[in-house]
Amino acid sequence: MYLDLFLTFLMIGFISFGGGYAMIPVIEMEVTQNGWLTTQEFTNVIAIAGMSPGPIATNSAIFVGYEIAGLTGAIVSALGMVLPSLLIILVIATFFYKINENHLTKSAFYGLRPIVTGLIIYAAINFAISNRIIGSFSLTTLSALLIFGVSLFALLRLKMHPVFVILLSGVVGMVLYT
């Protein structure tokens, strides 16, 4: 089990670009295909990982590893997730000045930007569907979409600090859903 966890998160760490949120769909696919967690259980893991300090992908790996194989599973999963980044950063740092101005390198990164954005949007939509924020029309769906819209407006137009928006949304949720 430990080797499976390590190799799975090692592979995810090597093939995923764009940060933690872009890695969520890849992690979810691996975790559900291996039968380690259901989609709903994984959604709960993402919710906790997102609220915890640190990178969401690494936090997710730790929570999945812990759920599957306890403390040792958490450590093995975390090592699998961070080892590729560490190795890649060391290689890039060694050759950074040589490859930074290369036309092909710049073109490759321009090509990766849209897919990273797409993966993040996919993760958000999938998260919303599995939490029944998007789905059948109800008063709960309408209120969740309203909280989303007001939060987005507060962040983009009013330039409110994200922590304040999160806290305010939590208070609104306590009022509406209690």
Statement to judge: residues 102 and 178 lie in one domain: no
Statement to judge: residues 77 and 153 lie in one domain: no
- 29 vs 23, 33, 41, 142, CA distance in Å? 10, 6, 13, 29
Statement to judge: residues 144 and 165 lie in one domain: yes
Q: Which of 30-34, 73-77, 126-130 has the lowest mean pLDDT?
A: 126-130
Statement to judge: residues 7 and 64 lie in one domain: yes
Statement to judge: residues 10 and 62 lie in one domain: yes
Domain that holds residue 176: 136-178
Note the pLDDT tens digit of each residue in 66-122. 999 999 999 999 999 999 989 988 887 887 767 777 888 888 888 888 888 888 888
Statement to judge: residues 90 and 61 lie in one domain: yes
**Per-residue model confidence (pLDDT) at position 107:** 86
Q: How many domains does the chain have?
A: 2
Statement to judge: residues 92 and 170 lie in one domain: no
Statement to judge: residues 162 and 88 lie in one domain: no
Q: Domain ends where: 131, 146, 167? A: 131
Amino acid at 139: L
For the cut 80, the answer to whether the pLDDT of residue 59 exceeds it is yes
Asked whether the whole model's pTM tops 0.85, one would answer no
The CA distance from 67 to 59, in Å, is 12
Local structure of residue 35 (DSSP, 8 states): T
Statement to judge: residues 54 and 117 lie in one domain: yes
Measured distance between the N- and C-terminal CA atoms of the chain, rounded to whole angstroms: 41
**Per-residue model confidence (pLDDT) at position 80:** 95
Statement to judge: residues 125 and 143 lie in one domain: no
Q: Domain ends where: 98, 116, 131? A: 131
Assigned token pair, 102: 């290369």
Name the band, by pLDDT with cuts 50, 70 and 90, for residue 64.
very high
Statement to judge: residues 27 and 54 lie in one domain: yes
Statement to judge: residues 79 and 33 lie in one domain: yes
